[in-house]
Structure 1
């Protein structure tokens, strides 16, 4: 049931399941001014009290950003110098934070550190405690307040970095016996959920179905995530512009940017091969299926993926909701689209395909633009195909050369 009055900047939407979803959306005025908080889902089937409590968190953050915007030179409250909350506020404005943490990730740091400050222990609120009073035992209690969860791991990671980077600037504030108490926190073992993935056939079944339903922008989003390994946040924020697709300075490539790592990716779309018998030059299309989808994608704006009015989907979950609802619609129509289809699963499917194709780690990272090997390795799934190919190679039964010959023979017959 919809409450009589909605909190400021909130809206509701009837979901495909029949439930009512509530959302908070930053006003356009503040979006254009650079507010990092754009939109957020508040929950499903909330009571009026729950809705107001959920919305208050985001409205308070918006109000705090407005105050800082009005007076950007305002210094932290020195009357509370030496407290954990003072340290957090100073750290978030310090160059040791702004030069190391990408702008996209900064709101998450503030959100997590705010929650740390609001925790209440036996002696009171953590944010009011002196930094010098935070020992390993206190850090462990703070971590335990979050439990053995991903959020708890973030708390330890973010606080450990804050202590390490701020101690050289304010050495008098920190303990001498335990300079960084967060290094003594032992993380609990937990079974991490493995994100799912979808294969090429599923991605293009969705893409073609979305085009048939007049949603070419959703089809393009799925292809960008699978073929060129773009994060959903980069797609929604416009990091795949039409000007990067077969532009005049690189007519045979697509140029994209990965927002999280700030890495530019230039993917070749074709290459020229000379026929050994005729000497004729043949253009081999590398992403023929993907380009067919892009050819049917309407150009609503400067970005390949945007709303019909030309506005970007942004950082919120609106694009994800639209993709999920389209997948549900196609599944109801009889298409083989699995439950839970998402852009994230498209990207994980593309990363898995890299490994199934037998690429080296260096080749895979050249395509995905991951900065570290550790970050890259977590994406590819241990599929049956990967296990089978590894077993065949182990016993000397790999048919990789034959497969490559067949692929090359098939490509040689294709002309631009």
Structure 2
């Protein structure tokens, strides 16, 4: 018998050991409606406040999803067949909900809102709002004007998103409303020539820098930041995942998987189950992430999330977590260290270790080769390894481990 009131959508059951396990489960009505959050273990033998804190994370996510899905567009009445109407229809259509992840949808809405509110000049000199224009009035020249308007604002990345998002919307909605689209130019956005731009190469933090930061964060009374660095580097978690609490203590050596850390990637919904140890041929237990676990052992459990502020609340999707990381990094002499750099460093280490693309994607949970390939940096070690393979040279396994700086602990 649980002697307190359970939060919404929370249940419990008594395990064979006599302990009480708590769970959060999404109602079936919301599951059928496409909610991406299905269920989650909250913990074992939790107190009233701990259950409330753990359930609040998932109830807040569910409430946000419900608001974003069912919110009316600011009492805006759109005329049938206009771009405003097309955007509204697309955002509610299965072709959008099934192909665009929950994480990416706000960005689509933001870009589409900017496109609809944009005012450009016609060939005759009169100004018009893009959202008020009929779909069949958008040709290649108008699409180019929209694109160049964003370029002229200095929003190079956003202008690329405008073309990509609008091209997808035209492609997916035209089969459902063929009479509303032009027959001579089925998809005008395909005719827009996107300017080439020099894309900045993100830096990366290697294993040594990551653990220097982690030790420095512990020394500066910021253990959750040490954990964040390890999660980004070792288990390739996006900073947005970390700040929003998607790495939970219940997934770290939990009852269901005591030899693994289980993490769900927020962007694509993929679940990664990383083994933390294995038994060798001699029956010894080999710890794979001994350095990382040594850091995690010094992180206090302030709630269900591994990375949480002192009061147990999450850092969230804003820049607060990045700011705190930057403060500590500057203080200990690592000004270029960021969580993003740590994640890119972990991805680079996969390539330096000689993993195949398939093996790397198993760990990073990227769904496509294109998404995976952009992370690993062309380091000197990768060039050297490729050159040796070219000329038929090989190196012993222990030399590879030395170069990679890998450390594995062994226990019986």
Would you call these one fold, judging by a TM-score over 0.5? yes
> How has the CA–CA distance of structure 1 residues 254 and 67 changed in structure 2, closer, same or farther, with 3 Å as cutoff?
closer
In 2, the alpha carbon distance for the partners of 1:404 and 1:390 equals: 13
Residue 294 of structure 1 pairs with residue 293 of structure 2: no
Tell me the residue number matched to 1:110: 109
Match of 1:169 among 151, 172, 176: 176
Flag structure 2 segments of 5+ consecutive residues without an equivalent: 1-56, 123-127
> How has the CA–CA distance of structure 1 residues 172 and 294 changed in structure 2, closer, same or farther, with 3 Å as cutoff?
same
Alignment of 1:120-269 (within 5 A): 120-123=119-122, 124-147=128-151, 149-269=156-276
Q: Could you list the per-position Cα deviations for residues 93-114 of structure 1 after superposition, in whole angstroms to 9, with x for gaps in the alignment?
A: 2222122211111110011111
Residue 389 of structure 1 pairs with residue 385 of structure 2: yes
Q: Could you list the per-position Cα deviations for residues 35-57 of structure 1 after superposition, in whole angstroms to 9, with x for gaps in the alignment?
A: 47xxxxxxxxxxxxxxxxxxxxx
> How has the CA–CA distance of structure 1 residues 301 and 188 changed in structure 2, closer, same or farther, with 3 Å as cutoff?
same
1:402 Cα deviation after fit: 5.3
In 1, the alpha carbon distance for the partners of 2:314 and 2:407 equals: 37
Alignment of 1:59-98 (within 5 A): 69=71, 77-78=77-78, 80-98=79-97
Contact preservation (8 Å) 1:282, 1:412: no
In 2, the alpha carbon distance for the partners of 1:218 and 1:359 equals: 28
Q: Could you list the per-position Cα deviations for residues 354-408 of structure 1 after superposition, in whole angstroms to 9, with x for gaps in the alignment?
A: 000111111100100100111100000001111111112211222144536989x
3-state DSSP class of the match of 1:308? Answer: coil
TM-score, structure 2 as length reference = 0.78
TM-score, structure 1 as length reference = 0.78
Match of 1:284 among 286, 290, 293: 286
In 2, the alpha carbon distance for the partners of 1:412 and 1:182 equals: 52
Q: Could you list the per-position Cα deviations for residues 253-303 of structure 1 after superposition, in whole angstroms to 9, with x for gaps in the alignment?
A: 11111010100000011111133xxxxx21111000000000001111111
Flag structure 1 segments of 5+ consecutive residues without an equivalent: 1-27, 37-64, 276-280, 332-336
1:125 Cα deviation after fit: 1.3
3-state DSSP class of the match of 2:259? Answer: strand
CA-based RMSD of the aligned residues comes to: 2.7
Alignment of 1:316-355 (within 5 A): 316-331=318-333, 337=334, 339-355=335-351
Question: Number of matched residues?
Answer: 345
> How has the CA–CA distance of structure 1 residues 295 and 186 changed in structure 2, closer, same or farther, with 3 Å as cutoff?
same
